[in-house]
Structure 1
Amino acid sequence: MEHSWFCLLLFLTTFIYCGHSEDDALPSATLTVDPNPVFIGETVTLTCSVNSEGNWRYTWDKDRPSNTVTPSGRHSITGGTLIISRVEMSDQGSYWCLGERKYTSTSTSTSNQVTISVKALPKATLTVDPNPVFTGEKVTLTCSVESVRYWRRYVWYKDNTFYPNRLSQYNRATLTINSVKESDKGLYYCQGISNSRPTSSSISNYVTLSVYGEFDLFDVRFIESIMVCISMAYFNCPFDPVYCSLPKVTLTVDPNPVFTGEKVTLTCSVGSYSVWTRYDWYKYNTFKQNRLPQYSGTTLTINSVKESDQGLYWCRGFSNSRPRSSSTSNQVTITVNALPNSTLSIEPTSPYTGENVTLTCSAGSDSDWRYKWYKDRSIIAVNQSDRHSTTGDTLIISRVEESDQGLYWCQGERKNTPTSTSISNQVNITVKAQPKSMLALTVNGDKVHSDKEDVLTGDRVTLTCTVESSGWRFYWYRDRTDSPPVSTTESTYTFNPVSVSDGGQYWCRGGRGEPPYYTLNSDPVRITVTERPVAVLTIQPNWTQIFIGETVTLRCVLLGGGDTDWQYEWFHYQNIIQTEPEYRISPVRTSHNGSYRCRGVKGRKTSNHSDVVQLTVSALPIATLTVDPNIVFPGEKVTLTCSVESDRDWTEYEWYKDNKINRQE
Structure 2
Amino acid sequence: MSLKKTKLVIPSWTQIYRGTTVTVRCEIHAGEGAQWTYEWKPAKLNTPPTSSVYTINRVTESDGGGYSCRGTRSSSWTECSDIITLRVTGPTVTLQPSWTQIYSGETVIVRCEIQGGEGAQWTYEWRPDKLKTRQIYSVYTISRATKADSGGYSCRGRRFSWTEWSDITTLTVLPKPKAELRADRTAVPVGGSVTLTCSVISSSGWKYYWYTHRKSYQILTNGQISVSEGGLYWCRGGRGEPVYYTEWSKSVWIDTTEKSSSYELLPDGSGTAQDSYIIHGQTHTAGYVCRAGRGDPEYHTDHSQPKFVWSAGQFVSLCPFNKLMLGHHFYSPRFIKISSP
Instruction: Give the TM-score taking structure 1 as reference length.
Output: 0.32
* Residue 27 of structure 2 corresponds to residue 295 of structure 1: no
1:375 to 108, 127, 151: 127
Pick the aligned partner of 2:258 from 518, 521, 531. 531
Alignment partner, residue 408 of structure 1: 153
Q: Using a 3 Å threshold, how does the CA distance of structure 1 residues 473 and 402 change in structure 2: closer, same or farther?
A: same
Query: 1:280/1:508 Cα in 2 relative to 1: closer, same or farther (>3 Å)?
Result: same
CA distance in 1 between counterparts of 2:98 and 2:52 reads 55
How far did residue 428 of structure 1 move? 1.4
What secondary structure sits across from 1:403 in the alignment?
A: helix
2: CA distance, partners of 1:489 / 1:283: 63
Of all paired residues, the percent bearing the same amino acid is: 28
Unaligned regions of 5+ residues in structure 2, if any?
260-341
SS at match of 1:383: helix
Residue equivalent to 2:97: 347
Task: Report the Cα offset of residue 262 of structure 1.
Answer: 4.5
Q: Does 1:395 align with 2:171?
A: no
Query: Which residue in 2 is equivalent to 1:505?
Result: 232
Say if 2:234 and 2:250, in contact at 8 Å, map to a contact too. yes
Please point out which of 204, 208, 211 is paired with 1:470: 204
- Partners of 1:272 and 1:326 lie apart in 2 by 18
Asked if 2 retains the 8 angstrom alpha-carbon contact of 1:339 and 1:421, the reply is no
Partner of 2:295: none
Provide, for residues 390-429 of structure 1, a one-character-per-residue CA deviation record: whole Å limited to 9, x for no partner.
6xx64321111122112224566669xxx99997664211
Distance 1:484 1:272, change over 3 A: closer
- Ranked by relative contact order (alpha carbons within 8 Å, sequence separation 6 or more), the top structure is 2
- The amino acid of 2:218's aligned partner reads S
User: Map of 1:58-77 to 2, 5 A cutoff?
Assistant: none
SS in structure 2 at match of 1:514: coil
Partner residue of 2:332? Answer: none
| TM-score of the aligned structures, taking structure 2 as reference length | 0.57
Write the deviation string for residues 521-553 of structure 1: whole angstroms up to 9, x where unpaired.
212211111328xxxxxxxxxxxxxxxxxxxxx
Instruction: State the match for 1:255 in structure 2.
Output: 11
Aligned twin of 1:26: none
The residue that corresponds to 2:176 in the other structure is 434
Taking a change above 3 Å as real, the CA distance of residues 411 and 485 of structure 1, as seen in their structure-2 partners, is farther
Alpha-carbon distance in structure 2 between the residues aligned to 1:251 and 1:529? 86
Partner Cα separation in structure 1 for residue 119 and residue 172 of structure 2? 31
Structure 2 residue 66 is the aligned partner of structure 1 residue 310? yes
Instruction: State the one-letter code of the partner of 1:359.
Output: V
User: Is the contact made by 2:24 and 2:54 (CA closer than 8 Å) also made in structure 1?
Assistant: yes
1:313 maps to a residue whose letter is: C
CA deviations over 1:461-488 (Å, ceiling 9, x no partner): 1211000111112222334xxx973333
Structure 1 residue 282, shift from structure 2 partner = 1.9
How far is the alpha carbon of 1:249 from its aligned partner?
9.3
Structure 2 contact 97–108 (Cα < 8 Å) conserved: yes
1:459 to 192, 200, 221: 192
**1:42-121 maps to which residues of 2 (within 5 A)?**
none
* Distance change >3 Å, CA 439–CA 512, structure 1 → 2: same
- Deviation of 1:342 after TM superposition, in Å, equals 5.8
Indicate conservation of the 8 Å contact 1:257/1:336, yes or no.
no
1:238-285 CA-to-partner distances (Å, cap 9, x unmatched) read: xxxxxxxxxx796653437643345224256795878x5xx6432345
Of Structure 1 and Structure 2, the greater strand share is in 2
Aligned residues: 248
RMSD after superposition: 4.2
Alpha-carbon separation, structure 2, partners of 1:364 and 1:300: 24
Which residue does the alignment assign to 1:282?
Answer: 39
In the alignment, is the contact (CA less than 8 A) between 1:342 and 1:361 conserved in 2?
Answer: yes
Q: Alpha carbons of 1:455 and 1:384: their partners in 2 closer, same or farther (altered >3 Å)?
A: same
SS in 2 for 1:354: coil
CA contact (8 A) 1:249 1:328 kept: no
- Hey, what's the Cα distance between the residues in 1 that align with 2:32 and 2:95? 58
How much does 1:438 deviate? Answer: 0.8
Q: What amino acid sits opposite 2:237 in the alignment?
A: G
Task: Indicate conservation of the 8 Å contact 2:111/2:140, yes or no.
Answer: yes
CA–CA distance in 2 between the matches of 1:524 and 1:371? 52
Aligned to 1:603: none
Q: Distance in 2 between matches of 1:425 and 1:290?
A: 28
- Structure 1 equivalent of residue 338 of structure 2: none
